[in-house]
């Protein structure tokens, strides 16, 4: 597991960036007149509730690829006599809700600069199990093979720091439309535990055989720069109070993820490793004809594998998405 002290230091660093950004951007604006009438900038505070979706990216793609591979879909749909699929492997829920505080600095009648930080992180985790039962029958004997797959995926996204520029079409109107865009500083990490069991049961009764594997990987907390843009509607309630409603699109992808991995099986074998997190497709050695996506940690991807890996690329955390935002804006001075 990652050291909690590292996360605390990371949060402290983010606060320092927010304070530094406020000083670098706010103090010069207060020192020099930039308004259209030679006035110092006007300041407002806004508190916004936000709800939306995240792409999440390769982690969900891997889970979806495994659960909905053509062989499993055919078994579920036709339920042939020689196999049965019980359960599903779930993707992580990609919906979120959080609040955000923002300092708005007026740069004139139409323009404003916003410095915002969210007060809450996004944390998603899940656990799901899929069991495949295959029956083999011939005149001499019958045996059953059960294959069980368990996934425990998880991701965390820290509260982002964002800078935005706002342009109002009808400044001074009771209800006005505005456009905005900017950049944000995002941080996040991924982890996943995977367990597999294979069991053979024979008839006439013979000693059954079973094997199992476990793999767990976790990335370091990684940061990246994202972009956002949208359109909003502002409605003035009083001279100092207004409501805002926004639709926002966001592009934020965090790649080059360093990670540690633990692998063990029942032979017994235990191995710890570190490297880059990779996404790839492979053949399932226990189910003929099934090819699905997987994620694993390598320092350098292997040139050859008995699983016939393909489509190898570095995995990423994709925080892109859309959101709806409702805010209350208070004019300070």
Q: For 223-234, how does the pLDDT look when each residue is reduced to its tens digit (9 = 90+)?
A: 999 999 999 999
Give this prediction's pTM. 0.83
Say which CATH number the domain at 25 has: 2.40.160.20
Any bridge partners for residue 279, and if so which?
295, 313
Closest by CA position to 94, among listed 318, 327, 295: 318
Phi, psi (degrees; rounded to nearest 5) at 193: -110, 135
Region 259-265: mean pLDDT is 97
- End-to-end CA separation in angstroms for the chain: 47
Over residues 85-95, the pLDDT tens digits come to 999 999 999 99
**Per-residue pLDDT band at 4 (split at 50, 70, 90):** very low
User: What tokens appear for 318 in the block?
Assistant: 């994709």
Structural domain of 85: 4-331
What is the C-alpha to C-alpha distance for residues 211 and 199, in angstroms, rounded to an integer? Answer: 7
The reported pLDDT for the residue numbered 116 is: 97
Q: Which of 40-44, 99-103, 274-278, 297-301 has the lowest mean pLDDT?
A: 40-44
* Residue 85 Cα to chain centre, angstroms: 28
Q: How far apart are CA 311 and CA 30, in angstroms?
A: 53
The number of domains in the chain is 1
What backbone torsions phi and psi does residue 190 show, to the nearest 5 degrees? -130, 155
Q: How far apart are CA 86 and CA 194, in angstroms?
A: 18
How high is the pLDDT of residue 204? Answer: 53
């Amino acid at each position: 597991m990652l050291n909690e002290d590292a996360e605390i230091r990371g949060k402290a660093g983010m606060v320092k960036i927010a304070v530094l950004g406020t000083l670098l951007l706010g103090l010069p604006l207060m020192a020099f007149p930039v308004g259209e009438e030679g006035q110092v900038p006007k300041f407002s505070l806004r508190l916004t509730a936000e709800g939306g979706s995240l792409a999440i990216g390769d982690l969900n793609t891997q889970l979806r690829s495994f659960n909905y591979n053509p062989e499993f879909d055919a078994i579920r749909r036709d339920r042939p006599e020689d196999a049965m699929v019980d359960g599903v492997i779930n993707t992580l829920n990609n919906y979120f809700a959080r609040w955000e505080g923002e300092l708005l600095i007026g740069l004139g009648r139409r323009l404003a600069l916003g410095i915002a930080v969210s007060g809450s992180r996004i944390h998603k985790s899940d656990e799901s199990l899929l069991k495949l039962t295959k029956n083999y029958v011939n005149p001499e004997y019958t045996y059953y093979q059960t294959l069980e797959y368990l996934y425990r995926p998880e991701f965390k996204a820290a509260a982002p720091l964002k800078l935005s520029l706002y342009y109002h079409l009808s400044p001074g109107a009771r209800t006005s439309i505005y456009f905005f865009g900017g950049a944000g500083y995002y941080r996040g990490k991924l982890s996943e535990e995977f367990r597999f069991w294979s069991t053979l049961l024979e008839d006439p009764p013979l000693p059954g055989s079973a094997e199992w594997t476990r793999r767990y990987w976790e990335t370091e907390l990684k940061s990246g720069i994202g972009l956002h843009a949208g359109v909003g509607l502002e409605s003035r309630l009083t001279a100092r109070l207004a409501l805002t409603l926004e639709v926002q699109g966001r592009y934020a992808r965090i790649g080059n993820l360093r990670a540690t991995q633990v692998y063990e099986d029942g032979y017994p074998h235990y191995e710890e490793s570190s490297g880059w997190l990779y996404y790839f497709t492979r053949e399932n050695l226990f189910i003929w004809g099934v090819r699905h996506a997987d994620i694993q940690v390598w320092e350098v991807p292997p040139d050859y594998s008995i699983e016939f890996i393909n489509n190898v690329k570095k995995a990423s955390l994709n925080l892109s998405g859309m959101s709806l935002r409702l805010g209350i804006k208070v004019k300070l001075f």
